[in-house]
Structure 1
C-alpha cells in the first residue's frame, strides 16, 4: 500500500471516529461537515473527496459498525458447539454489542440507516456478503442435521434476530428494558421458535 493510500485510510478513520463522537453527543442533527472538520482536523474538501456528502459519511459510519456487529455475530455463531449454544451466543453477542457501543448501535437502529438499508438492501447485502455467507451456510447445515426447524434461512434469521433487535431498539430509545433480563430470558424463547 502506498503512502498516499495509507494517508487516505487514516483520514477516513479520523473522520469516522469524529463522526461517531459527534453523533453520540449531539445526535444526527449535530452531525455536520463543519462539526466533523472541527473535531477531526480534516478539511471539508477532504471529507467531500472521501465521502461525497454528509450522507456518505453517515452511510460509511453505519457500514463500518454493521461490519463489526456482523463480524461478532458470525464469530459467535460459527464457534458455538451446536445450534442451541449458537442462539444463546448470538443473543448475548448482539445485546452485549449494543451495551458496549451504544452510540454505534443507536446509529445502526436509526431511521436514517433503516431508510438507506431498505432502499439499497441489495447493495448493503453485497457489501456484507463475506460476513453473511457463513450465516446461511450455518443455518442450512443445522436444518439438514435436524437441530433447526425445516424453515427457509431468512425466516430462521428473522425469528432469531427479530426479538433481539426489538429489545435493542427499546433499550436504546426508551430505556425501560433490562438487558440482563433479556439476555437471560430471550434465548430459551427464541430457541423454541427455531428448534426442530
Structure 2
C-alpha cells in the first residue's frame, strides 16, 4: 500500500531548504532554482505552497521571529529582579544564536519584510505583541526605580546592541564568544540600564 504524502511535508522541506540557503548565500543571492534544488521539490510543488522567493522569506522570517520572541519572553518572565532579567536576556540571546545560527543570521543580517510585502503584516503584529509583553515586565521595574526610563530604541541599543554586534562578528568568522565575553556583555547592559548610575 502506497503511503499518502502529507502536503505539509513539501512546505516544510521548502522552508528548511530556504533556511539553509538564505543562511549560506543571503536572500538576495539565492535564486528560486536554488531553493527548489535545496528542498528537492518540483516547480509545481513549490508554487503549490509559495508564490515566490519573497513569499518563502516572509513566512520564514515571521516564523523565526516568533520562535525567538517566545523564547525571549519565557526567559524574561523567569526573573522578577531587574538585574537578573537584564543580564539573563543577554545570556539568553547569545545562547539562542549559538543554538540556532541559521535562524539567528536571518534575524541579524536580513531586512524584515515591510507591511506591504509577504510576511510583513505577520511580522508587524508579532513585533507589536512582543513589545507589549516586554513592557509589562519593564514598566514595573522603572516604577520601582530599578531601571532607567528610556525609549524603545535606546532600550534595544543599550540592552542588546553589543550582543547583536558580537554575534554578527562571530558569524562573520571572528572567534566564538567565551563565557567571560557573555558575562561582560551582560554586565555592560545592566550598568547601562540601571537607575543608579553612580553605584
Shorter-chain TM-score bucket reads 0.7 to 0.9
Identify if the C-alpha distance between structure 1 residues 46 and 109 changes in structure 2 by more than 3 Å, giving closer, same or farther.
same
Identify if the C-alpha distance between structure 1 residues 76 and 51 changes in structure 2 by more than 3 Å, giving closer, same or farther.
same
1:65 matched to which residue of 2?
64
Q: 1:119 & 1:187 partners in 2: Cα distance?
A: 36
Contact preservation (8 Å) 1:22, 1:30: no
Q: 2:130 & 2:7 partners in 1: Cα distance?
A: 25
Q: Greater Rg, structure 1 or structure 2? A: 2
Question: 1:54 deviation in Å?
Answer: 0.8
Identify if the C-alpha distance between structure 1 residues 140 and 108 changes in structure 2 by more than 3 Å, giving closer, same or farther.
same
Question: 1:118 deviation in Å?
Answer: 9.9
Q: 1:91 & 1:172 partners in 2: Cα distance?
A: 17
Does the residue aligned with 1:79 lie in a helix, a strand or coil?
coil
Q: Alpha-carbon deviations, 1:109-139, whole Å to 9, x = none?
A: 22xx22646997x843323333332112111
Contact preservation (8 Å) 2:115, 2:124: no
Q: 1:174 & 1:25 partners in 2: Cα distance?
A: 13
What aligned pairs does 1:43-192 form with structure 2 within 5 A after superposition? Answer: 43-110=42-109, 113-114=110-111, 116=113, 123=121, 124-176=123-175, 178-192=177-191
Identify if the C-alpha distance between structure 1 residues 119 and 170 changes in structure 2 by more than 3 Å, giving closer, same or farther.
farther
Q: 1:141 & 1:44 partners in 2: Cα distance?
A: 53
* Larger proportion of helix: 1
Question: 1:73 deviation in Å?
Answer: 1.1
- The count of aligned residue pairs is 188
Identify if the C-alpha distance between structure 1 residues 96 and 118 changes in structure 2 by more than 3 Å, giving closer, same or farther.
farther
Q: Structure 1, unaligned stretches of length 5 or more?
A: 1-5
Normalising by the residue count of structure 2, what TM-score does the alignment of the two structures yield? 0.79
Bigger relative contact order, structure 1 or 2 (CA pairs below 8 A, ≥6 apart): 2
Q: 2:6 & 2:164 partners in 1: Cα distance?
A: 36
Q: Structure 2, unaligned stretches of length 5 or more?
A: none
Q: 2:165 & 2:103 partners in 1: Cα distance?
A: 16
Q: 1:184 & 1:136 partners in 2: Cα distance?
A: 24
Q: 1:85 & 1:65 partners in 2: Cα distance?
A: 25
Question: 1:176 deviation in Å?
Answer: 4.0
Q: Alpha-carbon deviations, 1:62-113, whole Å to 9, x = none?
A: 2221221111111111111311111111111111111111122122222xx2
The CA RMSD over aligned residues, in Å, is 2.8
Contact preservation (8 Å) 1:148, 1:195: yes
